[in-house]
């Protein structure tokens, strides 16, 4: 499968880069509802969040029990649901 990005304008698809395609190939076009600027902004936020997350790598102790921590945190926030 080949993925080609570009814009659809005046009933024509204009690829971002020149592409050689053999004649008579079936294609599927997917139209994004958002602009590429919105997508880039959202991706930048995701990347920043991932980088912040990766800063925690190696900080937690080896015997860290995330299930216990989660249960204690839920108990603090919501109390017992017994």
Q: What is the pLDDT of residues 15-39, one digit of tens each?
A: 888 888 878 888 887 877 766 666 7
Give domain status of residue 1, yes or no: no
Q: Is the pLDDT of residue 56 over 80?
A: no
Give domain status of residue 37, yes or no: yes
Give domain status of residue 60, yes or no: yes
Give domain status of residue 71, yes or no: yes
Q: Domain range spanning residue 33?
A: 6-78
Among 7-16, 30-39, 41-50, 56-65, which is the least confidently predicted range?
Answer: 30-39
**Residue 35: per-residue pLDDT:** 65
Q: Is the pLDDT of residue 52 over 70?
A: yes
Write the DSSP string, 56-68: TTTTS-TT--HHH
* Sequence-separated (6 or more) residues with CB below 8 Å from residue 8: 14, 29, 31
Q: Rounded mean pLDDT of 49-75?
A: 85
**Residue 36: per-residue pLDDT:** 65
Tally of domains within the chain: 1
């Amino acid at each position: 499968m080949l993925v080609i990005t570009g814009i659809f304008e005046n009933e024509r698809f204009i690829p971002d880069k020149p592409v050689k395609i053999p004649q008579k190939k079936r294609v599927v076009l997917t139209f994004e509802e958002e602009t590429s600027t919105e997508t880039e902004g959202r991706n930048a936020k995701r990347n920043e969040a991932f980088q912040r997350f990766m800063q925690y790598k190696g900080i937690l102790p080896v015997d860290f029990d995330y299930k216990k921590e989660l249960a204690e945190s839920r108990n603090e926030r919501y109390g017992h649901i017994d």
